[in-house]
Amino acid sequence: MTTCFDIGGTYIRYGALQEDGAVAESGRVETPGSDWHRFVAAIEHCAGKDSSAISISLAGAYDERSGIADVANIPCLHKRPVRQELEAALGRPVLITNDANAFALAEAVDGTGRGKPVVFGIILGSGVGGGLVVNGELVKGVGGMAGEWGHGPIMDPTAGGQLKGIDHYSCGCGQTGCIDAVCSARGMERIHTSLHGSRLTSKEITEAWHAGDAAATETIDAYTTLLARALSVLVNTLGPDVIPVSGGLSNDVALLDLVDRKVRSLVLAQYTEPLVIRGQFAENGGLHGAGIVARTTLGGVTP
């Protein structure tokens, strides 16, 4: 039986692919971030020692041409040909999909985008990621990097002169002004520090916003303005029917509603219903998406 994994910097979550195509989490173990041999042992422990395939949703970028993973928060996988070395170590087939792509697939095939032609799934958490699905097919692009809208030095911290006091933030990819650096949860925290000189977590900022705090309200207005401007370009380019959201910030429905209203006010197409919404698989998109990859690649279960 195929075992599916959702591998992040903190936990390895896993579950078996069922005959109906569903994947329920059956357990989780801590990710051995710095030890390759312990990482392999953890995967084998979760999947068992038979020769059946495993399908992995992996945080970070994954180049399908070279097989090299770019996962800075899991050092033992960073810059390693993970699929090839896992197959050699485990003696079984391994499928790997970027976690944002896995989430987008889950939403397009079985979630909020089911039956809709264009689904752009996004992650808003400690980082910003995305995946594009057109007519039920994941758009991979060169090296499987399509949908990675979080990177590229395009952000204007003044929002065309609307905002003041926000800095140009450097990104972990080495560039300055990436969407990831501004529109992630860490970006929200940077904005708050720039505007008010105090350091709060994104959760503390949103909680203060809900309580009516003026400083937090200014931060949220700046954050959602910058995020909506970035998303509007993607909406005009891709014409998505829905933008399901996962990641820690997706838990705040009021925040997503504000982003949605701002995005729809900026784009050319007329959307009469919400566009940016919390994904049906916001909590389980990695596992479910890994299951979709397995069932479409390997067959053997009902789509």
The answer on 288 and 273 residing in a single domain is no
The answer on 269 and 120 residing in a single domain is yes
Scanning the structure block, which residue is given the tokens 């998505």? 240
> 110 lies in a domain?
no
Interior CA angle at 143 toward 141 and 146, to 5°?
Answer: 35
Average pLDDT of the chain, as a whole number: 94
> 108 lies in a domain?
no
Can you give the pLDDT at residue 274?
Answer: 97
Quick: pLDDT tens for 245-299: 999 999 999 999 999 999 999 999 999 999 999 999 999 999 999 999 999 988 7
Q: Does residue 4 carry a pLDDT above 60?
A: yes
Phi-psi region of 23 (alpha: psi -120 to 50; beta: other; left: phi over 0): beta
Q: Write the DSSP assignment of 213-273 as a string of letters.
A: -HHHHHHHHHHHHHHHHHHHHHHHHH--SBEEEESGGGG-HHHHHHHHHHHHHHSSS--SS
Over residues 210-220, the mean pLDDT reads: 98
The answer on 177 and 75 residing in a single domain is no
| Spatial contact of 145 and 196, defined as CB atoms under 8 Å apart | no
Looking at the 3D structure of the chain, how many domains does it have? 2
> 56 lies in a domain?
yes
CA distance 32 to 25: 19
> 130 lies in a domain?
yes
The answer on 172 and 63 residing in a single domain is no
pLDDT band, very low/low/confident/very high, at 36 (cuts 50, 70, 90): very high
- Alpha helices (H) in the chain, listed in sequence order: 36-47, 82-90, 99-110, 179-183, 185-196, 202-210, 214-238, 253-266, 285-297
> Which percentage of the chain shows pLDDT scores above 70?
99
Structure-token pair, residue 84: 């090839």
Contacts with 27 (C-beta within 8 Å, 6 or more apart), sequence order: 13, 14, 15, 46
Over residues 15-23, the mean pLDDT reads: 89
Contacts with 207 (C-beta within 8 Å, 6 or more apart), sequence order: none
Over residues 167-195, the mean pLDDT reads: 95
Quick: pLDDT tens for 74-103: 999 999 999 999 999 999 999 999 999 999
> 240 lies in a domain?
yes
| Model pTM score | 0.94
Q: Does residue 218 carry a pLDDT above 50?
A: yes
| Spatial contact of 71 and 300, defined as CB atoms under 8 Å apart | no
Report helix angle 214-238 to 185-196, nearest 10: 130
The answer on 64 and 156 residing in a single domain is no
The answer on 182 and 127 residing in a single domain is yes
> 302 lies in a domain?
no
CA distance 297 to 40: 23
Contacts with 128 (C-beta within 8 Å, 6 or more apart), sequence order: 122, 149, 150, 179, 180, 183, 184, 187
CATH number of the domain that residue 288 is part of = 3.30.420.40
> 107 lies in a domain?
no
Q: Alpha-carbon torsion 33, 292, 184, 206, what sign?
A: negative
The answer on 122 and 77 residing in a single domain is no
| Spatial contact of 174 and 152, defined as CB atoms under 8 Å apart | no
Quick: pLDDT tens for 102-116: 999 999 999 999 999
Can you give the pLDDT at residue 216?
Answer: 98
Number of H helices, E strands in the chain: 9, 12
The answer on 199 and 82 residing in a single domain is no
Can you give the pLDDT at residue 60?
Answer: 86
Owning domain of residue 198: 115-278
Q: Does residue 204 carry a pLDDT above 50?
A: yes
> 195 lies in a domain?
yes
Over residues 225-253, the mean pLDDT reads: 97
The answer on 182 and 87 residing in a single domain is no
Can you give the pLDDT at residue 300?
Answer: 52
Structure-token pair, residue 243: 């933008």
CA 181 to chain centroid = 14
CA distance 223 to 98: 26
The answer on 145 and 183 residing in a single domain is yes
The answer on 272 and 132 residing in a single domain is yes
The answer on 140 and 91 residing in a single domain is no
Q: Does residue 303 carry a pLDDT above 60?
A: no
Report which secondary-structure segment, H or E, holds 130.
strand 128-134
